[in-house]
Amino acid sequence: EVQLVESGGGLVQPGRSLKLSCAASGFTFSDYAMAWVRQAPKKGLEWVATIIYDGSSTYYRDSVKGRFTISRDNAKSTLYLQMDSLRSEDTATYYCARTAGTGPDYWGQGVMVTVSS
């Protein structure tokens, strides 16, 4: 059974950093691209970042470029999102998602990040 479990969320002050993790199991992690998607309170979903299967290429939405870094450790079957210079508008539930050629197929349950002083 495919499982994606996010962790590392919480309350953080504006301008500070936070690192999210997503532990994957039930599939060969190194075969898949992975992504982070977020949903702000009472707002729609936003694609944040993607990393291909071997980590050699990454993609970011414009609003997080230069502040967020997506990475992966295939030996540990874990996806990461390093979030620096956090802003109030980054407040959201963050989901990790496995991404196949047909788009994202499995998602985690999400982790909440609140940016507030």
Partner 1 sequence: DIQMTQSPSFLSASVGDRVTINCKASQNINRYLNWYQQKLGEAPKLLIYNANSLQTGIPSRFSGSGSGTDFTLTISSLQPEDVATYFCLQHNSWPYTFGAGTKLELK
Cα–Cα distance for residue pair 113/91, rounded to 1 Å? 5
54 sits near partner 1 (criterion: CB under 8 A): no
61 sits near partner 1 (criterion: CB under 8 A): yes
By CB under 8 A, the residues from 22 to 51 that bind partner 1 are: 44-47, 50
Using CA atoms, how far residue 83 sits from 1, 43, 87, in Å, is: 29, 20, 10
Instruction: Specify the residue, 29 or 104, whose C-beta has the smaller distance to partner 1.
Output: 104
Q: Give the phi and the psi of residue 63 in degrees, each rounded to 5.
A: -70, -10
Instruction: Specify the residue, 101 or 117, whose C-beta has the smaller distance to partner 1.
Output: 101
102 sits near partner 1 (criterion: CB under 8 A): yes
Residue pair 9/21 in contact by the 8 Å Cβ criterion: no
Q: Binding residues for partner 1, per CB under 8 A?
A: 4, 44-47, 50, 59, 61-62, 95, 102-110
